[in-house]
Protein backbone atom coordinates (compact mmCIF):
# COMPACT_ATOMS: atom_id res chain seq x y z
CA UNK A 1 0.00 0.00 0.00
CA UNK A 2 1.41 3.37 -1.04
CA UNK A 3 1.92 5.98 1.70
CA UNK A 4 -0.41 8.96 1.77
CA UNK A 5 1.26 12.38 1.70
CA UNK A 6 -0.05 15.93 1.93
CA UNK A 7 2.00 18.97 1.01
CA UNK A 8 1.17 20.90 4.15
CA UNK A 9 3.15 22.12 7.12
CA UNK A 10 0.73 20.39 9.47
CA UNK A 11 1.30 17.04 7.78
CA UNK A 12 5.08 17.52 7.94
CA UNK A 13 5.02 18.38 11.63
CA UNK A 14 2.73 15.48 12.47
CA UNK A 15 5.10 13.15 10.62
CA UNK A 16 8.02 14.51 12.63
CA UNK A 17 6.17 14.01 15.91
CA UNK A 18 5.66 10.32 15.11
CA UNK A 19 9.23 9.83 13.87
CA UNK A 20 11.14 7.49 16.24
CA UNK A 21 14.44 9.06 15.08
CA UNK A 22 13.43 12.69 15.59
CA UNK A 23 15.74 13.27 18.56
CA UNK A 24 18.85 12.44 16.56
CA UNK A 25 18.51 15.77 14.76
CA UNK A 26 19.50 17.51 17.99
CA UNK A 27 22.87 15.74 17.93
CA UNK A 28 24.03 17.64 14.85
CA UNK A 29 25.15 21.18 14.13
CA UNK A 30 23.30 22.97 11.31
CA UNK A 31 24.58 25.97 9.35
CA UNK A 32 22.38 29.02 9.96
CA UNK A 33 20.54 31.31 7.57
CA UNK A 34 18.60 34.36 8.82
CA UNK A 35 18.88 33.04 12.38
CA UNK A 36 17.38 29.63 11.66
CA UNK A 37 18.70 26.26 10.59
CA UNK A 38 19.16 25.80 6.87
CA UNK A 39 17.42 23.05 4.96
CA UNK A 40 20.50 20.89 4.53
CA UNK A 41 20.02 18.43 1.68
CA UNK A 42 23.66 17.72 0.80
CA UNK A 43 24.46 14.79 3.05
CA UNK A 44 25.37 13.00 -0.18
CA UNK A 45 28.34 15.40 -0.47
CA UNK A 46 29.23 16.21 3.14
CA UNK A 47 27.29 15.12 6.20
CA UNK A 48 26.68 17.51 9.07
CA UNK A 49 28.96 17.62 12.10
CA UNK A 50 27.84 15.54 15.08
CA UNK A 51 28.09 17.58 18.27
CA UNK A 52 30.06 14.74 19.86
CA UNK A 53 32.97 15.20 17.44
CA UNK A 54 34.35 18.22 19.28
CA UNK A 55 34.61 16.27 22.54
CA UNK A 56 36.24 13.36 20.72
CA UNK A 57 38.86 15.61 19.14
CA UNK A 58 39.55 17.42 22.40
CA UNK A 59 40.20 14.04 24.04
CA UNK A 60 42.81 13.20 21.41
CA UNK A 61 44.46 16.60 21.83
CA UNK A 62 44.53 16.11 25.59
CA UNK A 63 46.03 12.64 25.22
CA UNK A 64 48.64 13.94 22.80
CA UNK A 65 49.55 16.78 25.17
CA UNK A 66 49.74 14.54 28.24
CA UNK A 67 51.27 11.41 26.73
CA UNK A 68 53.20 12.36 23.61
CA UNK A 69 54.33 9.27 21.76
CA UNK A 70 53.01 7.03 24.55
CA UNK A 71 49.52 7.93 23.33
CA UNK A 72 49.98 5.20 20.76
CA UNK A 73 49.61 2.70 23.60
CA UNK A 74 48.00 4.58 26.50
CA UNK A 75 45.59 7.11 24.97
CA UNK A 76 41.91 6.75 25.83
CA UNK A 77 41.64 4.95 22.49
CA UNK A 78 45.20 3.73 21.81
CA UNK A 79 46.25 5.17 18.48
CA UNK A 80 48.09 2.14 17.16
CA UNK A 81 44.89 0.08 17.21
CA UNK A 82 42.42 2.83 16.36
CA UNK A 83 40.92 0.81 13.52
CA UNK A 84 39.78 -1.97 15.84
CA UNK A 85 36.88 -0.28 17.71
CA UNK A 86 35.53 0.81 14.33
CA UNK A 87 35.37 -2.67 12.82
CA UNK A 88 32.11 -3.83 14.36
CA UNK A 89 30.04 -0.70 13.66
CA UNK A 90 31.45 -0.53 10.12
CA UNK A 91 30.61 -4.19 9.61
CA UNK A 92 27.00 -3.42 10.53
CA UNK A 93 26.89 -0.53 8.06
CA UNK A 94 28.03 -2.61 5.08
CA UNK A 95 26.76 -6.07 6.05
CA UNK A 96 30.09 -7.70 6.73
CA UNK A 97 32.09 -9.57 9.33
CA UNK A 98 34.39 -7.37 11.43
CA UNK A 99 37.52 -9.01 10.02
CA UNK A 100 36.36 -8.03 6.51
CA UNK A 101 36.40 -4.26 7.09
CA UNK A 102 38.94 -1.64 8.02
CA UNK A 103 38.89 2.15 8.31
CA UNK A 104 41.90 3.60 6.52
CA UNK A 105 43.20 6.09 3.96
CA UNK A 106 40.94 8.00 1.59
CA UNK A 107 38.50 6.56 -0.92
CA UNK A 108 40.65 6.85 -4.03
CA UNK A 109 43.69 5.39 -2.26
CA UNK A 110 41.53 2.44 -1.28
CA UNK A 111 40.26 2.09 -4.85
CA UNK A 112 43.86 1.84 -6.04
CA UNK A 113 44.69 -0.72 -3.36
CA UNK A 114 41.62 -2.71 -4.35
CA UNK A 115 42.57 -2.67 -8.03
CA UNK A 116 46.16 -3.63 -7.27
CA UNK A 117 44.81 -6.85 -5.78
CA UNK A 118 41.76 -7.63 -7.87
CA UNK A 119 42.79 -6.50 -11.34
CA UNK A 120 45.35 -9.09 -12.43
CA UNK A 121 44.95 -9.27 -16.21
CA UNK A 122 46.18 -12.15 -18.33
CA UNK A 123 46.43 -12.54 -22.09
CA UNK A 124 43.00 -14.18 -22.14
CA UNK A 125 41.25 -12.44 -19.21
CA UNK A 126 41.86 -8.68 -19.10
CA UNK A 127 38.64 -6.72 -19.63
CA UNK A 128 36.83 -4.50 -17.12
CA UNK A 129 33.14 -3.60 -17.03
CA UNK A 130 31.92 -0.41 -15.36
CA UNK A 131 29.04 2.02 -15.73
CA UNK A 132 29.25 4.85 -18.25
CA UNK A 133 29.38 8.22 -16.55
CA UNK A 134 30.91 6.90 -13.35
CA UNK A 135 32.51 9.28 -10.87
CA UNK A 136 35.84 10.63 -12.19
CA UNK A 137 37.91 8.98 -9.45
CA UNK A 138 36.70 5.59 -10.63
CA UNK A 139 37.48 6.41 -14.24
CA UNK A 140 40.96 7.69 -13.41
CA UNK A 141 41.78 4.71 -11.23
CA UNK A 142 40.69 2.18 -13.85
CA UNK A 143 42.46 4.01 -16.66
CA UNK A 144 45.76 4.25 -14.82
CA UNK A 145 45.76 0.62 -13.68
CA UNK A 146 45.11 -0.49 -17.23
CA UNK A 147 47.93 1.68 -18.61
CA UNK A 148 50.36 0.59 -15.89
CA UNK A 149 49.89 -2.97 -17.09
CA UNK A 150 50.81 -2.01 -20.63
CA UNK A 151 47.24 -2.11 -21.95
CA UNK A 152 45.03 0.50 -23.63
CA UNK A 153 41.81 1.59 -21.88
CA UNK A 154 39.89 1.57 -25.18
CA UNK A 155 40.77 -2.13 -25.60
CA UNK A 156 40.00 -3.09 -22.03
CA UNK A 157 37.22 -1.02 -20.45
CA UNK A 158 33.62 -1.76 -21.38
CA UNK A 159 31.22 0.99 -20.27
CA UNK A 160 27.57 0.01 -19.92
CA UNK A 161 25.39 2.97 -20.84
CA UNK A 162 21.65 3.61 -20.59
CA UNK A 163 19.62 2.84 -23.67
CA UNK A 164 18.95 5.66 -26.09
CA UNK A 165 16.40 8.05 -24.61
CA UNK A 166 16.85 6.62 -21.09
CA UNK A 167 18.79 8.03 -18.17
CA UNK A 168 19.27 5.10 -15.80
CA UNK A 169 20.72 1.67 -16.50
CA UNK A 170 18.67 -1.48 -16.84
CA UNK A 171 19.93 -4.36 -14.72
CA UNK A 172 19.44 -6.77 -17.61
CA UNK A 173 21.81 -4.71 -19.76
CA UNK A 174 24.51 -4.87 -17.09
CA UNK A 175 24.14 -8.61 -16.67
CA UNK A 176 24.07 -9.20 -20.42
CA UNK A 177 27.29 -7.21 -20.83
CA UNK A 178 28.95 -9.41 -18.22
CA UNK A 179 27.78 -12.59 -19.93
CA UNK A 180 28.88 -11.33 -23.35
CA UNK A 181 32.37 -10.48 -22.09
CA UNK A 182 32.56 -13.99 -20.67
CA UNK A 183 36.00 -15.50 -20.25
CA UNK A 184 37.71 -12.26 -21.32
CA UNK A 185 36.38 -10.46 -18.24
CA UNK A 186 38.74 -9.93 -15.30
CA UNK A 187 36.82 -7.39 -13.22
CA UNK A 188 33.44 -5.75 -12.80
CA UNK A 189 33.62 -2.46 -10.91
CA UNK A 190 30.43 -0.49 -10.37
CA UNK A 191 29.19 2.12 -7.97
CA UNK A 192 26.72 0.97 -5.37
CA UNK A 193 24.68 4.12 -5.98
CA UNK A 194 25.25 6.17 -9.13
CA UNK A 195 26.31 9.61 -7.94
CA UNK A 196 24.52 11.60 -10.69
CA UNK A 197 21.17 9.84 -10.99
CA UNK A 198 20.98 8.31 -7.52
CA UNK A 199 20.22 4.87 -9.01
CA UNK A 200 20.95 1.88 -6.75
CA UNK A 201 22.55 -0.97 -8.67
CA UNK A 202 21.68 -4.60 -8.02
CA UNK A 203 25.00 -5.51 -6.43
CA UNK A 204 23.92 -9.04 -5.55
CA UNK A 205 23.02 -9.92 -9.15
CA UNK A 206 26.07 -8.14 -10.59
CA UNK A 207 28.35 -10.07 -8.25
CA UNK A 208 26.73 -13.39 -9.09
CA UNK A 209 26.99 -12.73 -12.83
CA UNK A 210 30.65 -11.74 -12.52
CA UNK A 211 31.48 -14.89 -10.60
CA UNK A 212 29.65 -17.04 -13.14
CA UNK A 213 32.17 -16.00 -15.79
CA UNK A 214 35.16 -16.16 -13.44
CA UNK A 215 35.60 -12.43 -12.83
CA UNK A 216 35.89 -10.42 -9.62
CA UNK A 217 33.14 -8.01 -8.51
CA UNK A 218 34.19 -4.81 -6.73
CA UNK A 219 32.21 -1.69 -5.81
CA UNK A 220 32.68 1.97 -5.02
CA UNK A 221 30.23 2.59 -2.18
CA UNK A 222 30.84 6.32 -1.78
CA UNK A 223 27.12 7.07 -2.13
CA UNK A 224 25.91 3.76 -0.72
CA UNK A 225 27.60 3.33 2.67
CA UNK A 226 25.24 4.65 5.32
CA UNK A 227 22.58 5.30 2.70
CA UNK A 228 21.13 1.93 1.66
CA UNK A 229 21.12 -1.56 3.22
CA UNK A 230 24.19 -3.53 2.23
CA UNK A 231 24.98 -7.24 2.62
CA UNK A 232 28.46 -7.42 1.17
CA UNK A 233 29.39 -10.68 2.87
CA UNK A 234 26.19 -12.51 1.96
CA UNK A 235 26.29 -11.18 -1.61
CA UNK A 236 29.85 -12.53 -1.86
CA UNK A 237 31.19 -9.20 -3.12
CA UNK A 238 34.95 -9.53 -3.54
CA UNK A 239 35.94 -6.05 -2.39
CA UNK A 240 34.54 -2.54 -1.90
CA UNK A 241 35.70 0.89 -0.83
CA UNK A 242 33.85 3.95 0.46
CA UNK A 243 34.33 7.36 2.02
CA UNK A 244 32.94 8.37 5.41
CA UNK A 245 32.19 12.06 4.98
CA UNK A 246 28.85 11.76 3.19
CA UNK A 247 26.04 9.83 4.87
CA UNK A 248 28.42 8.72 7.66
CA UNK A 249 29.12 12.33 8.76
CA UNK A 250 32.75 11.74 9.68
CA UNK A 251 34.45 15.04 8.75
CA UNK A 252 35.49 16.59 5.41
CA UNK A 253 37.99 14.32 3.72
CA UNK A 254 37.60 11.94 6.65
CA UNK A 255 39.13 8.49 6.85
CA UNK A 256 37.67 6.02 4.35
CA UNK A 257 36.87 2.32 4.54
CA UNK A 258 37.50 -0.92 2.73
CA UNK A 259 35.84 -4.34 2.58
CA UNK A 260 37.63 -7.53 1.57
CA UNK A 261 35.51 -10.67 1.58
CA UNK A 262 36.55 -13.26 4.11
CA UNK A 263 37.67 -15.77 1.47
CA UNK A 264 40.23 -13.21 0.27
CA UNK A 265 40.94 -11.48 3.57
CA UNK A 266 42.20 -14.77 5.02
CA UNK A 267 44.32 -15.58 1.96
CA UNK A 268 47.80 -14.38 2.82
CA UNK A 269 49.08 -15.28 -0.66
CA UNK A 270 46.82 -12.79 -2.41
CA UNK A 271 48.83 -9.97 -4.07
CA UNK A 272 48.54 -6.54 -2.48
CA UNK A 273 50.46 -3.32 -1.99
CA UNK A 274 52.01 -3.58 1.45
CA UNK A 275 52.70 -1.16 4.27
CA UNK A 276 53.97 -1.77 7.77
CA UNK A 277 50.55 -1.26 9.37
CA UNK A 278 49.24 -4.21 7.39
CA UNK A 279 51.96 -6.48 8.71
CA UNK A 280 51.35 -9.03 11.46
CA UNK A 281 50.61 -6.98 14.57
CA UNK A 282 52.88 -9.04 16.82
CA UNK A 283 55.86 -8.38 14.54
CA UNK A 284 55.08 -4.82 13.46
CA UNK A 285 57.67 -3.17 15.66
CA UNK A 286 60.35 -5.80 15.16
CA UNK A 287 61.30 -4.15 11.85
CA UNK A 288 61.92 -7.46 10.08
CA UNK A 289 62.32 -7.78 6.34
CA UNK A 290 59.59 -9.59 4.47
CA UNK A 291 55.92 -8.63 4.59
CA UNK A 292 53.74 -11.02 6.58
CA UNK A 293 50.12 -9.88 6.17
CA UNK A 294 47.85 -9.74 9.18
CA UNK A 295 44.61 -11.68 9.00
CA UNK A 296 41.66 -9.87 7.54
CA UNK A 297 41.11 -6.61 5.70
CA UNK A 298 43.48 -4.88 8.09
CA UNK A 299 46.38 -6.36 6.13
CA UNK A 300 45.61 -3.86 3.35
CA UNK A 301 46.52 -0.99 5.70
CA UNK A 302 49.57 1.04 4.75
CA UNK A 303 50.41 3.53 7.47
CA UNK A 304 49.43 4.24 11.05
CA UNK A 305 45.89 5.60 11.37
CA UNK A 306 45.35 9.40 11.66
CA UNK A 307 44.07 9.69 15.22
CA UNK A 308 42.12 12.93 14.76
CA UNK A 309 40.24 11.67 11.72
CA UNK A 310 39.64 8.31 13.38
CA UNK A 311 38.25 10.07 16.46
CA UNK A 312 35.79 12.06 14.35
CA UNK A 313 34.84 8.88 12.46
CA UNK A 314 34.29 6.92 15.67
CA UNK A 315 32.13 9.67 17.20
CA UNK A 316 29.96 9.81 14.08
CA UNK A 317 29.71 6.02 13.82
CA UNK A 318 28.58 5.80 17.44
CA UNK A 319 25.60 8.02 16.61
CA UNK A 320 24.88 6.18 13.37
CA UNK A 321 25.15 2.79 15.05
CA UNK A 322 22.71 3.82 17.77
CA UNK A 323 20.12 4.81 15.19
CA UNK A 324 20.60 1.58 13.24
CA UNK A 325 20.50 1.01 9.50
CA UNK A 326 17.09 -0.67 9.56
CA UNK A 327 15.35 2.31 11.18
CA UNK A 328 17.28 4.77 9.05
CA UNK A 329 16.26 3.00 5.87
CA UNK A 330 12.60 2.97 6.87
CA UNK A 331 12.64 6.71 7.49
CA UNK A 332 14.69 7.35 4.36
CA UNK A 333 12.04 5.74 2.17
CA UNK A 334 9.32 7.86 3.80
CA UNK A 335 11.35 11.08 3.66
CA UNK A 336 12.43 10.62 0.04
CA UNK A 337 8.89 9.62 -0.91
CA UNK A 338 7.55 12.80 0.68
CA UNK A 339 10.18 14.86 -1.16
CA UNK A 340 9.13 13.29 -4.46
CA UNK A 341 5.48 14.06 -3.72
CA UNK A 342 6.22 17.68 -2.80
CA UNK A 343 8.33 18.28 -5.92
CA UNK A 344 5.66 16.88 -8.20
CA UNK A 345 2.98 18.92 -6.42
CA UNK A 346 4.97 22.15 -6.66
CA UNK A 347 6.70 21.79 -10.02
CA UNK A 348 4.50 19.54 -12.14
CA UNK A 349 6.18 18.88 -15.48
CA UNK A 350 8.73 21.69 -15.07
CA UNK A 351 11.06 19.36 -13.20
CA UNK A 352 11.87 15.80 -14.23
CA UNK A 353 13.05 13.48 -11.46
CA UNK A 354 15.66 11.24 -13.07
CA UNK A 355 16.17 9.08 -9.98
CA UNK A 356 14.13 5.84 -10.11
CA UNK A 357 10.73 6.14 -8.44
CA UNK A 358 10.94 2.60 -7.07
CA UNK A 359 12.19 2.95 -3.45
CA UNK A 360 14.23 -0.25 -3.83
CA UNK A 361 16.22 1.39 -6.63
CA UNK A 362 17.14 4.62 -4.86
CA UNK A 363 18.49 5.90 -1.58
CA UNK A 364 18.26 9.29 0.14
CA UNK A 365 18.65 11.35 -3.03
CA UNK A 366 16.54 12.72 -5.84
CA UNK A 367 18.20 14.20 -8.91
CA UNK A 368 16.11 16.94 -10.50
CA UNK A 369 16.54 17.57 -14.21
CA UNK A 370 15.58 21.17 -14.98
CA UNK A 371 15.67 22.06 -18.64
CA UNK A 372 15.20 25.83 -18.26
CA UNK A 373 16.71 28.20 -15.68
CA UNK A 374 18.08 25.35 -13.61
CA UNK A 375 21.12 27.26 -12.41
CA UNK A 376 19.02 30.28 -11.45
CA UNK A 377 16.68 28.04 -9.45
CA UNK A 378 19.64 26.46 -7.71
CA UNK A 379 21.07 29.88 -6.82
CA UNK A 380 17.70 31.00 -5.46
CA UNK A 381 17.49 27.94 -3.23
CA UNK A 382 20.97 28.60 -1.83
CA UNK A 383 20.23 32.30 -1.26
CA UNK A 384 17.15 31.35 0.73
CA UNK A 385 18.67 28.82 3.09
CA UNK A 386 18.16 25.59 1.12
CA UNK A 387 21.49 23.79 0.63
CA UNK A 388 21.46 21.43 -2.33
CA UNK A 389 24.11 20.80 -4.97
CA UNK A 390 24.43 21.38 -8.69
CA UNK A 391 25.71 18.96 -11.30
CA UNK A 392 26.37 20.16 -14.82
CA UNK A 393 24.66 20.66 -17.12
CA UNK A 394 21.24 20.96 -15.47
CA UNK A 395 20.71 18.76 -12.43
CA UNK A 396 20.02 19.68 -8.81
CA UNK A 397 20.64 16.88 -6.33
CA UNK A 398 18.57 16.97 -3.16
CA UNK A 399 19.43 14.42 -0.48
CA UNK A 400 17.44 14.43 2.78
CA UNK A 401 19.47 12.34 5.25
CA UNK A 402 17.21 10.42 7.65
CA UNK A 403 19.58 10.78 10.58
CA UNK A 404 19.10 14.53 10.91
CA UNK A 405 16.63 15.79 8.31
CA UNK A 406 12.96 16.23 9.08
CA UNK A 407 9.69 16.16 7.18
CA UNK A 408 9.40 19.87 7.88
CA UNK A 409 12.71 20.33 6.06
CA UNK A 410 11.10 18.71 3.02
CA UNK A 411 8.06 20.99 3.24
CA UNK A 412 10.33 24.05 3.54
CA UNK A 413 12.28 22.88 0.50
CA UNK A 414 9.06 22.69 -1.50
CA UNK A 415 7.96 26.14 -0.28
CA UNK A 416 11.20 27.79 -1.43
CA UNK A 417 11.22 25.79 -4.67
CA UNK A 418 7.75 27.09 -5.46
CA UNK A 419 9.03 30.65 -5.03
CA UNK A 420 12.03 29.92 -7.28
CA UNK A 421 9.82 28.51 -10.03
CA UNK A 422 7.63 31.63 -9.92
CA UNK A 423 10.52 33.95 -10.82
**Cβ within 8 Å of residue 269, ≥6 positions away:** none
Q: pLDDT at position 2, please?
A: 67
At residue 239's C-alpha, the angle toward residues 233 and 243, to 5°, is: 100
* Residue 35 placed within a domain: no
CATH number at residue 22: 3.90.1150.10
In a domain, 40, yes or no: no
Task: With H, G, I as helix, E, B as strand and everything else as coil, classify residue 40.
Answer: strand
Q: Do residues 105 and 224 both lie within one domain?
A: yes
173 with 210, same domain? yes
- The percent of residues above 90 in pLDDT, for the chain, comes to 96
Decide if 199 is inside a domain: yes
The predicted structure's pLDDT at residue 398:
98
Domain C-terminal end among 287, 321, 355: 321
Residues 125 and 273 in one domain: yes
Pick from 302, 321, 340: which residue ends a domain? 321
| Any domain includes 15 | yes
Inside any domain, residue 49: no
Residue 353 in domain: yes
> Which pLDDT belongs to residue 423?
85
Helix, strand, coil shares of the chain, percent, nearest 5, are 45, 15, 35
> Of 257, 286, 321, which residue sits at a domain end?
321
Same domain, 350 and 278: no
Q: Is 207 left (phi over 0), alpha (psi -120 to 50) or beta?
A: alpha
310 secondary structure, DSSP code = H
Q: What whole-number distance in Å separates Cα of residue 16 and Cα of residue 209?
A: 42
One domain, residues 249 and 355:
no
Dihedral sign for Cα 282, 287, 293, 298, please: positive
Query: Are 200 and 313 contained in the same domain?
Result: yes
Structural domain boundaries enclosing 361 = 9-30+325-421
pLDDT of residue 1: 63
Tally of structural domains, the chain: 2
User: Please, are residues 336 and 362 in contact by the beta-carbon 8 Å criterion?
Assistant: yes
CATH of the domain at 82: 3.40.640.10
Contact 3, 335 (CB under 8 A): no
What span, in angstroms and rounded, lies between the C-alpha atoms of 339 and 26? 21
**Shared-domain flag, residues 235 and 128:** yes
CB 82 within 8 A of CB 307: yes
pLDDT at 93: 98
Whole-angstrom Cα distance, residue 85 to residue 314? Answer: 8
Whether residue 17 is found in the same domain as residue 72: no
Same domain for 188 and 269, yes or no, is yes
128: in domain: yes
> What is the tens place of the pLDDT at every residue in 9-39?
999 999 999 999 999 999 999 999 999 999 9
* DSSP-based three-state secondary structure for 33: strand
Q: Are residues 264 and 409 in the same domain?
A: no
C-alpha 305: how far from its chain's center? 20
Position 1 in a domain: no
247/305 same-domain check: yes
pLDDT of residue 3: 83
Q: Are residues 131 and 14 in the same domain?
A: no
Which residues of the chain fall below pLDDT 70?
1-2
At residue 328, φ and ψ (nearest 5 deg) are -65, -40
Query: pLDDT tens digit string along 287-324?
Result: 889 999 999 999 999 999 999 999 999 999 999 999 99
Amino acid sequence: MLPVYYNTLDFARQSDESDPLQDFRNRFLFPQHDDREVVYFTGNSLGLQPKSVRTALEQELSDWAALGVEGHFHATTPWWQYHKPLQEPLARVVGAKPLEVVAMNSLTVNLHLMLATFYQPTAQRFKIICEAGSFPSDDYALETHVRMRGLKPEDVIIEVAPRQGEITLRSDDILNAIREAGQSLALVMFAGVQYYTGQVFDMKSITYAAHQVGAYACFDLAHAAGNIPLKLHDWKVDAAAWCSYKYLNSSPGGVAGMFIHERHALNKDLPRLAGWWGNEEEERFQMKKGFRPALGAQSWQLSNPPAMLMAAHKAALDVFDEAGMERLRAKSEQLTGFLEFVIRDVAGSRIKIITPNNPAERGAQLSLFIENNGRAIFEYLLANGVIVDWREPNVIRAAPAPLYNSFEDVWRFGDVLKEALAL
